[in-house]
Amino acid sequence: MSDLKQQKCEACSADAPSVSPQEIEQLKPQIPDWNIVEKEGQLQLEKLYNFPDFQTAIAFTNAVGDLAEAEGHHPALLTEWGKVTVSWWTHAIAGLHKNDFIMAAKTDEIREKIGN
Amino acid sequence: MSDLKQQKCEACSADAPSVSPQEIEQLKPQIPDWNIVEKEGQLQLEKLYNFPDFQTAIAFTNAVGDLAEAEGHHPALLTEWGKVTVSWWTHAIAGLHKNDFIMAAKTDEIREKIGN
């Protein structure tokens, strides 16, 4: 199976397929630290990232925001002092698409680049 | 009563006074669109701001982040496509300090400057 980080988001419409339980089983090991949570009846990928201060946290928020704009797929980013909680899901299908796993993997990659 | 927007945050410690119900009654009319919500047993000031796109939303997040750094008091900023939810409260006292009302008023001022 190809590396999620190397893939691009594909355009997503309301009739796009949600990931199946089998696909989740395949994809989840590539983003081991992400949690699959249910919010308002929708599955989401969620991860809390820690940082040494506010400035590094908001720099990370901006870097993930740049990725979101580039891929045309946008997360929820909760920025606080020393932490950012990132949530990915696909609004059009009210759940998880493969795109969300791709974005989660790329978010991990951004975190690695920032260091600390 | 002096304008909240003109005031600066004062240093806050665990023994700083929370706002009293009487003070809330005085201060709240200066930030009429903010909600007082209880989260995990703590009172917070919360407001949802809408924007025409993701870029304007994250620009607002950054502007509020700059204010937070300047005043040494930090909010929770939930950035999504076209909206930012801002929450102010005082961690040290696990509730609301006058500082939070000052920051809420200044957040409204930032929103006005961005336009749209």
Mean per-residue pLDDT over chain A, rounded: 93
Which pLDDT score is estimated for B1?
55
Which pLDDT score is estimated for A115?
80
CA distance A35 to A87: 9
Residue pLDDT, tens place only, A35-57: 999 998 999 999 999 999 999 99
Average pLDDT value for residue range B91-113: 95
CA distance B61 to A98: 28
Query: Is the residue at A76 inside a domain?
Result: yes
Which pLDDT score is estimated for A11?
75
Q: What global pTM score does this model have? A: 0.94
Which pLDDT score is estimated for B14?
76
Alpha helices in A1-116 (DSSP H): 21-27, 54-71, 98-114
Give the residue numbers spanning the domain of A84. Answer: 33-114
Of A61, A74, A79, Cβ closest to residue B81: A74
Average pLDDT value for residue range A52-72: 97
- Give me the amino acid identity at A113: K
Average pLDDT value for residue range B40-66: 97
Domains identified in chain B, total number: 1
Torsions phi, psi for A78 (to 5 deg) = -100, 105
Chain B residues touching A76 at Cβ < 8 A: 78-80
Does residue B96 contact residue B103 with C-beta atoms inside 8 Å? no
Query: Is the residue at A1 inside a domain?
Result: no
Residue pLDDT, tens place only, B12-50: 777 778 899 999 999 999 999 999 999 989 999 999 999
Interface of B with A (CB under 8 A): 54-55, 58, 61-62, 65, 68-69, 74-81
Residue pLDDT, tens place only, A83-104: 999 999 998 888 999 999 999 9
Query: Is the residue at B28 inside a domain?
Result: no
Query: Is the residue at B106 inside a domain?
Result: yes
Q: Do B80 and A81 touch (CB under 8 A)?
A: no
CA distance A115 to B116: 36
Query: Is the residue at B6 inside a domain?
Result: no
* Token pair for A106: 């790329």
Query: Is the residue at A103 inside a domain?
Result: yes
Chain A residue with Cα closest to B63: A58
Which pLDDT score is estimated for A20?
93
The enclosing domain of B61 has a CATH number of 3.30.1360.20
Of the pLDDT bands very low, low, confident and very high (cuts 50, 70, 90), residue A9 is confident
Q: Does residue B98 register a pLDDT over 80?
A: yes
Closest approach of A69 to chain B, Cα-based (Å): 8
Query: Is the residue at A3 inside a domain?
Result: no
Q: Is the ipTM of this complex over 0.90?
A: yes
Query: Is the residue at A49 inside a domain?
Result: yes
